[in-house]
Amino acid sequence: MITYRLHLICPAETPEATTQLAEAAEEGLYPHPAKVYFAPLKSCEQTAEILYPNLLAQRADFLLPFSQPKEGAVYAVKAMLQEMMSIGFAEAAVVADSGVLMQILTACALPERPEEEWRLQPGRGYTLLTDAALWMRCEKLELYDTVLSSAVSEYADDEAYLDYAESLLDEGTVEG
């Protein structure tokens, strides 16, 4: 059975974060997906171009803030997974506003967490895994890892972010 990976990445929104993002990308610290979906926001498009300049990137209008968070998030993930399954690629990056990513994580991630507990920083995010059976059974993806967990960020509380992300992975619900 094929395992599908979605790398949820928060865009860089300041010149400093953009510089750090570009440096980390040059060092090969980001995942290497087959495709990139980005929200129709300038910061998301720029982040996708910096991280994946030679990769097929698709503007995804369904990655805007959802008026009905759970239904919208499930719809967005379903749209991406259906395309991945039908075309035959197993890995994609998703660059969207932190609010949208938090809604996706709240609606679709295991372990389940309230929206306010999903922390996202520019250039950072989470990798989620699923297969067709898990998705069809419960429309969930398992938290697998953090994106860019060891690289730099514009925030001084990197240690707190990493500790938080590791605590989610250590709950025993998912593998890290």
- Cα–Cα distance for residue pair 61/94, rounded to 1 Å: 12
Strands (E), 111-172: 125-131, 141-147
Predicted pLDDT of residue 69: 80
Q: Is the pLDDT of residue 176 over 90?
A: no
User: Per the confidence metrics, is the pTM higher than 0.75?
Assistant: yes
Domains of the chain: 3-169 (3.40.50.1240)
Tokens at residue 174, please? Answer: 């998912």
The pLDDT of 110-118, averaged and rounded, is 91
Average pLDDT, the chain: 85
- Cα–Cα distance for residue pair 97/12, rounded to 1 Å: 10
Q: Say if residues 75 and 62 touch (Cβ distance below 8 Å).
A: yes
**Which range (24-38, 60-74, 83-97, 98-112) has the least confidence?**
60-74
- Cα–Cα distance for residue pair 66/143, rounded to 1 Å: 21
Q: Is the pLDDT of residue 26 over 90?
A: yes
Chain centroid to Cα 162, Å, comes to 16
The pLDDT of 109-118, averaged and rounded, is 92
Q: Which amino acid is at 116?
A: E
Q: Is the pLDDT of residue 159 over 60?
A: no
Most confident of 58-67, 142-151, 161-170: 58-67
Q: Is the pLDDT of residue 156 over 70?
A: no
- Reported as a single tens digit per residue, the pLDDT across 37-76 is 999 999 999 999 999 998 888 999 888 877 788 888 889 9
Residue 86 phi/psi, 5-degree rounding, is -75, -35
142: closest CA among 21, 3, 38, 29? 3
Predicted pLDDT of residue 95: 96
Contacts of 26 (CB under 8 A, 6+ apart): none
45: closest CA among 31, 59, 63, 25? 59
The pLDDT of 10-19, averaged and rounded, is 93
The pLDDT of 93-120, averaged and rounded, is 92
